[in-house]
């Protein structure tokens, strides 16, 4: 029987992974710090879970959590764009130092299987096509965004670039602190695999949504912010012009991708590091998500404000073909069904600020 450790297993995505692992009959241990800026109230932990309250940056906590474990699913991280650059040390400590502590302890314990929660943010802006083929735009400029020029342009011709699906072989270009730390986690895991013979699957999540999302933290995803506004009887607020392209993937599909990856590591070759995009395969705009949620909740129509955050990217959508082809994974929740459920699904308790 598989004995799985899920770091951050009391969180939004971690909790969905734990639920599916228990349904498979696996033994599950959770290591979670229960940070007050993530959990507005103590989460409910399934009685079948061996729960350890501890921090992934604490070597003693991690060593205790690894006893008897076969494979680790590393979800513990500080997520989201952040409030300002003052968040940087916390991101680096939580994400990069925490991963380093975990990997060092796994090396000592002789555990050689890891599924790592990564993110689409490692790519920066998504893939684009210009007049002469593939193009990579530079960072967006505040002067353009202030003027309502949201779409990237070819820096030579000035032509508007057209978004395309991004693959795992596209260049990596993290453009904010969170993105930098997620790529740092991947680099640490790559080094660990090479030096220990370990096997790593890194899952680059696209926009995850679903029941149990955090309700009101500054780091919550856009779908959660829209859903929370509707619950308050307010119109969802959409930044820019709402035409930002994303791939919204349901949390249950993210969980099933993790378990599929766990299975794969059992027979994968040594010294493996392999990244996979995890998306629904269907492109929707942020405006479409807001509209669909408003309609499903019978709430007020979204308001498009033209506001922007300089660290945001314009378009990023995944090709999940590698995951489907190599690991035989397929998403099961359609956008329509997922949004309909999410419109009335419970969120995590509000964080007291």
What tens digit of pLDDT does each residue of 87-106 get? 899 999 999 999 999 999 99
pLDDT tens digit sequence for 183-197: 999 999 999 999 999
**What pLDDT score was predicted for residue 138?**
77
pLDDT tens digit sequence for 274-311: 999 999 999 999 999 999 999 999 999 999 999 998 87
Residue 182 belongs to some domain of the structure: yes
What is the domain range of residue 277? 3-127+164-343
What number of other Cβ atoms are within 10 A of residue 345's Cβ? 14
Residue 282 belongs to some domain of the structure: yes
More confident residue, 120 or 43: 120
Split into its structural domains, the chain has a count of 1
Assess whether pLDDT exceeds 70 at residue 252. Answer: yes
pLDDT tens digit sequence for 70-81: 999 999 998 876
Q: How far is CA 67 from CA 31, 70, 117, 188, 263, in A?
A: 12, 9, 21, 22, 20
What the block records as the tokens of 148 is 């309502």
Among residues 33, 10, 31, 347, the alpha carbon closest in space to that of 209 is found at 347
**What pLDDT score was predicted for residue 310?**
82
Assess whether pLDDT exceeds 80 at residue 349. Answer: no
Residue 158 belongs to some domain of the structure: no
Residue 111 belongs to some domain of the structure: yes
3-state secondary structure of 199: strand
Residue 216 belongs to some domain of the structure: yes
Residue 157 belongs to some domain of the structure: no
Assess whether pLDDT exceeds 80 at residue 218. Answer: no
What number of other Cβ atoms are within 10 A of residue 155's Cβ? 12
Question: Phi and psi (nearest 5°) for 149?
Answer: -95, 90
What number of other Cβ atoms are within 10 A of residue 68's Cβ? 12
Class of residue 136 by CB neighbours under 10 A (exposed 0-12, middle 13-18, buried 19+): middle
Average pLDDT over residues 156-178: 90
Average pLDDT over residues 317-324: 94
Residue 103 belongs to some domain of the structure: yes
Residue 136 belongs to some domain of the structure: no
Rg value, the chain, Cα: 20
Share of the chain above pLDDT 70, in %: 96
* Chain mean pLDDT for the chain: 92
Rounded CA gap, 330 and 279, in Å?
Answer: 10
Q: How far is CA 143 from CA 140, 161, 173, in A?
A: 9, 18, 22
List all residues 6 or more positions away from 87 whose beta carbon is below 8 Å from its beta carbon: 78, 177
Assess whether pLDDT exceeds 50 at residue 223. Answer: yes
CATH of the domain at 43: 3.40.50.720
Class of residue 144 by CB neighbours under 10 A (exposed 0-12, middle 13-18, buried 19+): middle
**What pLDDT score was predicted for residue 353?**
46
More confident residue, 84 or 133: 133
């Amino acid at each position: 029987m598989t004995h799985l450790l899920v770091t951050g297993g009391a969180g939004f995505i971690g909790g969905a992974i734990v639920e599916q692992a228990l349904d498979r009959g696996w033994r599950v241990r959770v290591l979670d710090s229960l940070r007050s800026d993530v959990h507005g109230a103590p989460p409910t932990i399934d009685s079948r879970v061996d729960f350890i309250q501890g921090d992934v940056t604490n070597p003693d906590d991690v060593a205790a959590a690894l006893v008897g474990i076969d494979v680790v699913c590393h979800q513990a991280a500080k997520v989201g764009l952040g409030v300002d650059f003052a968040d940087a040390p916390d991101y680096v400590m939580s994400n990069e130092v925490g991963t380093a502590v975990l990997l060092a302890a796994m090396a000592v314990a002789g555990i050689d299987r890891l599924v790592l929660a990564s993110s689409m943010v490692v790519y920066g802006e998504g893939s684009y096509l210009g007049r002469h083929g593939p193009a990579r735009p530079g960072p967006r400029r505040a002067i353009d965004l202030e003027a309502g020029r949201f779409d990237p342009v070819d820096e030579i011709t000035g032509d508007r670039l057209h978004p395309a699906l991004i693959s795992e072989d596209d260049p990596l270009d993290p453009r904010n602190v969170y993105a930098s730390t997620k790529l740092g986690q991947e680099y640490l895991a790559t080094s660990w695999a090479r030096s220990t013979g370990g096997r790593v699957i890194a899952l680059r999540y696209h926009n995850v949504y679903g029941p149990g999302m955090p309700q009101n933290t500054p780091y919550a995803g856009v779908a959660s912010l829209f859903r929370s506004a509707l619950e308050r009887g307010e119109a969802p607020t959409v930044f820019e012009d709402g035409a930002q392209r994303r791939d919204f993937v349901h949390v249950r599909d993210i969980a099933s991708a993790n378990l599929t990856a766990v299975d794969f590591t059992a027979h994968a070759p040594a010294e493996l590091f392999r990244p996979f995009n995890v998306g629904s395969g269907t492109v929707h705009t942020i405006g479409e998500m807001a509209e669909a949620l408003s309609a499903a909740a019978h709430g007020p129509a979204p308001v498009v404000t033209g506001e922007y955050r300089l660290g945001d990217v314009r378009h990023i959508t995944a090709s999940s073909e590698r995951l489907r082809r190599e690991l035989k994974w397929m998403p099961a929740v359609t956008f329509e069904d997922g949004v309909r459920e999410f419109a009335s699904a419970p969120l995590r308790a509000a964080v007291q600020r």
